[in-house]
Structure 1
């Protein structure tokens, strides 16, 4: 099957008999639709009858966007329940599992905090091109009102979860389903298995619908891009390039942290760690898949002298529930959109973004980057008061930042394994090159 085709697949997380259906987005066709739409909109702007073409493109783009949005809440809910239940189950497996889970939690928090500090500073130092806000003016996009601290605290708990879902109140929904997942994990085995099977079936159903919607992604992105280019002109290309570089920079921070985790947390000499992880990084860049990079990561662990029982447990678990760049780069996208939309990102909104990004990252790790882009960043943007409509356009260029995502994730997985190995062995001596 060619790389740019869309197809449903079933991938089981390590140690599981089932699995979630994942969909391959037709990335090159979608990217082509974006470029073609930008060119067409740019050339048609100001020509006689251009308003008729723009209106038709707006209707098509809006329909495709809404079809994509309608699956977000049920899919996020089901993935949260499955992801958190999986993490709780893993944490009960013993000392190595607990050390891994705690390390993962700490690294995810670091990833989110680093982004909310660094991304605004980066945008201040290197602001988007003039008129960049026009590129994100997708149909129906509106920035949400900025809540006060009192309103933010009160909004953490929804008195009516159905109403919260109807209003896409992401933060209370995330909290509810996180608590729901913890409660499910405490049920008797038979009842727990029944509920988890239901949520897995719900997730697979939503993923199947998303697969259908993404099959026509080139047409939907083309329609959205026509309107964007008509408003932004040639600046649309410069804005997308600026977006790719700044968002990827947040992944680079996680990549650097991955080396530090391996070197200092695992007591591995810098050159030795860099050499050992290089083959796994090559696979990560070429496949853009942490799962496909797992054999290469295991080989890197062997070269680093990590005990086999630790590597064989930690790396598959990390692939299943850990994506180090998820909070950093997902928050970076939401902050970028909020910046262009003029949303004031207060401390409560940033904390809400970190909290949602942390929890969402657990549930979205089994999905390819182009799918998880929408369902992961959508709830974060909603929690921060930023419009989510631009995500339907930005997904067309996700294949480029996704290279950084996978590269940093794979490097961090190996670094984490070295740190857990050292914690369990108690070996405090720096390993020689």
Structure 2
């Protein structure tokens, strides 16, 4: 099963869930609903820990490496991520109301509706040790503290804690997600809601990929206007990194290929060696596009109010909370769960749908991330006083 990628497993889970919800008796649905309840409760418990485990070490590491070039690179990455999320918002509100039926999904969660009478066999509550906002404040406090104090004890502790959280995600949450998604879709099929959701999945997938492509072209147009080069030739050189990221679903795991292709674009070695690994950690324009578009799709689907004033703080916080998330496949959506719950008021069912909808195209968001890292490297190359080298003979 480990060789069977996450996306194929999710697709198989959705299809099997539809079959189970259509043909099998209610007691089978009850078993799955019971699992979903326990898994959802555990997910609520782990969200604050994910926030602390991802954000605190990331901020602390950035603080330790403080310097002019790092600050410039981080600033460019943050602005790029915010612009990407803003673009996704405006495209989504223009397109989605025309291709999905607003309010067509029963709000308040699948398990809580009158249309679906399936109840869990048992309920197990796992209360989180702190609220999401408390976790965010604590993460920022610890991160800034790690950067400020001279000792390494807290830094090493948080690094180990982050390792534990990553293990929980990769060894527990990600492997169990297909079963969770299977239960969600079996329950929705049993209640007659699955057609609406699947239709939204397909439409949002196509829209998100289109936004990714548009934004990559925009990034390289800006980068080439600053640092030189033909934007489309620069993009063509980065394609191996793009397709590698589709397979790895991890910006961090794709760094060797991204680094090689960035240097083939004529970036000085010392600039590429600095800019690419850093951007792989803090630049998540593609993931932000995916998260914002998916969140808005679910908000329209459930009849929630979609306002720029509500989404802008979400976008601004996304660019910070996803620091260090690229090391884990699906890490971006895991890091965003707390914001979805606290800022957009997603309930456990909507969070589950969000995870499924995001992970269905997570690899393409990662691919857009790493491709955009190459554009930042072009700008950093110019800021460092270099011109693009002619390396066409090596390509």
Partner of 2:18: 38
Task: Name the counterpart of 1:63.
Answer: 38
Change (3 A) 1:327 1:406: closer
Deviation at 1:342, TM superposition (A): 2.1
1:106 equivalent in structure 2: 79
| Equivalent pair of 1:40/1:226 in contact (CA under 8 Å) | yes
Residue in 1 aligned with 2:144?
182
What is residue 89 of structure 1 aligned with on the other side? 64
Question: Is residue 262–residue 418 contact of structure 1 (8 Å, CA) maintained in 2?
Answer: yes
Cα distance in 2 for residues equivalent to 1:410 and 1:83: 18
Q: Cα gap change, 1:257/1:124 in structure 2, threshold over 3 Å: closer, same or farther?
A: same
| Greater CA drift, 319-328 or 410-419 | 319-328
Aligned counterparts, 1:230-309, within 5 A:
230-231=190-191, 232-309=193-270
Q: Secondary structure at the match of 1:216?
A: helix
Measured in 1, the distance between the counterparts of 2:207 and 2:131 equals 28
Structure 1 residue 405 displacement after superposition: 0.8
Q: Distance in 1 between matches of 2:182 and 2:12?
A: 8
Contact 1:331–1:357 (8 Å) recurs in 2: no
**Aligned runs of 1:359-398 on 2, under 5 Å?**
359-369=320-330, 371-396=331-356, 398=358
Distance (Å, rounded) in 1 between the aligned partners of 2:92 and 2:101? 16
In the alignment, which residue of structure 2 is the partner of 1:22?
Answer: none
| CA deviation map 1:286-338 (0-9, x unaligned) | 33332333222222223222111111111122123322223322222222222
Give deviations 1:172-198, integer Å, cap 9, x for gaps: 64345324422331112x1xx211222
Question: How far does the alpha carbon of each residue in 1:237-282 deviate from its partner, in whole angstroms, 9 at most, with x for none?
Answer: 3232123233444433432333223322322113431332223223
Distance across 2 between alignment mates of 1:169 and 1:67: 14
Deviations 1:336-379 (CA, angstroms, capped at 9, x unpaired): 2222222213444223212321211214222212x432332442
Look up the match of 2:98.
125
- Listed one character per residue, the Cα deviations across residues 5-44 of structure 1 (whole Å, up to 9, x for unaligned) are 7xxxxxxxxxxxxxxxxxxxx4433431221002221345
TM-score by length of 2: 0.83
Q: Residue 90 of structure 1 contacts residue 97 of structure 1 at CA under 8 Å; is this kept in 2?
A: yes
Change (3 A) 1:187 1:246: same
In 2: Cα distance, 1:332 partner to 1:397 partner: 10
1:414 deviates by 0.7
Q: Is the CA contact 1:289–1:368 (under 8 Å) kept in the aligned structure 2?
A: yes
Q: Is the 8 A contact 2:279 2:373 kept in 1?
A: yes
CA distance in 1 between counterparts of 2:132 and 2:356 reads 26
Q: Distance in 2 between matches of 1:129 and 1:100?
A: 41
Distance 1:139 1:208, change over 3 A: farther
Query: What is the aligned partner in structure 1 of residue 9 from structure 2?
Result: 29
The question of whether the paired residues in 2 share the 8 Å contact of 1:338 and 1:387 is answered with no
Cα distance in structure 2, aligned partners of 1:213 and 1:280: 27
Q: Give unmatched runs, 5+ long, in structure 1.
A: 6-25, 45-49, 142-164
Offset of residue 208 of structure 1: 3.1
* Cα distance change on mapping 1:131 and 1:233 into 2, 3 Å: farther
Is contact 2:288-2:318 (8 Å) kept?
yes
CA shift for structure 1 position 409: 1.1
Consecutive unaligned residues in structure 2, runs of 5 or more: 114-127
Measured in 1, the distance between the counterparts of 2:349 and 2:205 equals 18
CA RMSD of superposed structures (Å): 3.1
TM-score by length of 1: 0.77
Does 2:153 align with 1:204?
no
Deviation at 1:383, TM superposition (A): 1.0
Q: Would the aligned equivalents of 1:30 and 1:218 in 2 still touch at CA under 8 Å?
A: yes
Cα contact 1:76–1:363 (8 A) shared by 2 = no
Once residues 357 and 302 of structure 2 are traced to their aligned partners in structure 1, the CA distance between those partners, rounded to angstroms, is 20
Kindly state the Cα deviation for residue 86 of structure 1 after the two structures are TM-superposed: 1.8
Contact preservation (8 Å) 2:224, 2:231: yes
For residue 121 of structure 2, what is the aligned residue in structure 1? Answer: none
How many angstroms does 1:398 deviate by? 4.2
State the secondary structure of the residue aligned to 1:368.
coil
CA distance in 2, matches of 1:120, 1:135: 19
**Match of residue 131 from structure 2:** 168
Label 1:230 to 1:140 Cα distance change in 2 as closer, same or farther (>3 A): same
